[in-house]
């Protein structure tokens, strides 16, 4: 549905906020401050204009009154609190067998859904996997894919030259072997680590910004999970298997259309970290004035 915008001239305060925040140049400000809708066809329905207007003067057919909510900025966490959350967030793989309550999983997904997307396309979708059989399927797919990759990497005609140009890849081979043996012999899952839920984030295959959009969503979800005391980690091994294996095999089994760009394993923690540790010194390059 195309965007239809109007300005309530009686309510408009001529502050120009809508024109300043619009990323598409939809509005035009006259010398006397009067605001006009100059190019509605450019609108990407991001809602910046509606959210910024202090007088509710912007009328947008995609954002009726029931979709617009007042925000109490005094209720926001302080900068120190946000930074502490960032400092203590860790990949905690020590899960209990207790499931994450469904309402908490939904809150994490909503946080992910609130992340920005390129051109406000909002094409990020989410698949929440909690069925133990499906979780085992993801682990099995990942281990099988790595086994296939390992065989190719160890081929006598490939290894001599590939090990020179991709030495980092070969250092993972012993870890892959250990994970596969542990799973086959003892049922120890080194991929999902006993997580009771898996959040997969995906976009249509033709979305050029899909990976960026999905990982922005991941960061929102990760911080929300941390704030709720729910353990989580980025499923990097699953992502690498999807990149280098037959991704359609897994997406078809899970009923996913499009490309998976990120995944988060979730579970109730056996414990939470009481300390945070400094990272390497900040590598910041500032413009010299």
- Residue 263 sits at the vertex; the CA angle it makes with 137 and 252, to the nearest 5 degrees, is 45
Q: What is the CATH number of domain 5-67?
A: 3.30.70.20
pLDDT (0 to 100) of residue 230? 98
The pLDDT tens digits for 167-187 are 777 778 888 889 999 999 999
pTM above 0.95, yes or no: no
Sequence spans of domains, the chain: 5-67, 77-273
239 has pLDDT over 70: yes
pLDDT (0 to 100) of residue 150? 82
166 has pLDDT over 70: no
Q: How far apart are CA 60 and CA 176, in angstroms?
A: 53
The pLDDT tens digits for 45-59 are 999 999 999 999 999
165 has pLDDT over 80: no
CATH top-level class of 77-273: alpha beta
191 has pLDDT over 80: yes
The predicted model gives 258-264 an average pLDDT of 98
pLDDT (0 to 100) of residue 36? 95
157 has pLDDT over 80: no
The predicted model gives 238-244 an average pLDDT of 94
């Amino acid at each position: 549905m195309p965007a239809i915008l109007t300005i309530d001239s009686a309510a408009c305060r001529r502050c120009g906020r809508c024109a300043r925040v619009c990323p598409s140049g939809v509005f035009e400000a006259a010398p006397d401050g009067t605001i006009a809708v100059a190019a509605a066809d450019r609108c990407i329905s991001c809602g910046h204009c509606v959210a910024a207007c202090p007088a509710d003067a912007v009328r947008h057919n995609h954002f009726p009154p029931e979709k617009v909510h007042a925000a109490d900025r005094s209720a926001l966490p302080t900068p120190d609190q946000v930074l502490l959350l960032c400092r203590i967030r860790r990949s905690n793989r020590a899960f209990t067998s207790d499931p994450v309550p469904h309402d908490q999983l939904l809150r994490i997904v909503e946080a992910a859904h609130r992340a920005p997307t390129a051109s406000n396309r909002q094409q990020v979708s989410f698949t929440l996997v909690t069925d133990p059989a499906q979780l085992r399927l993801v682990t099995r797919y990942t281990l099988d894919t790595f086994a296939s990759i390992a065989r190719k990497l160890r081929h006598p005609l490939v290894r001599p030259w590939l090990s020179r140009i991709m030495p980092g890849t070969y250092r993972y081979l012993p870890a892959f072997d250990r994970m596969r043996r542990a799973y086959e012999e003892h049922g120890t899952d080194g991929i999902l680590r006993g997580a009771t839920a898996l959040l997969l984030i995906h976009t249509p295959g033709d979305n050029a910004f899909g990976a960026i959009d999905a990982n922005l969503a991941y960061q929102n979800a990760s911080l929300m999970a941390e704030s709720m005391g729910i353990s989580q980690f980025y499923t990097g091994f699953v992502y690498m298997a999807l990149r280098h294996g037959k991704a359609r095999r897994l997406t078809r089994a899970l009923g996913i259309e499009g490309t998976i760009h990120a995944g988060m394993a979730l579970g109730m923690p056996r414990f939470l970290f009481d300390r945070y540790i400094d990272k390497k010194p900040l590598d910041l390059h500032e413009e010299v004035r």
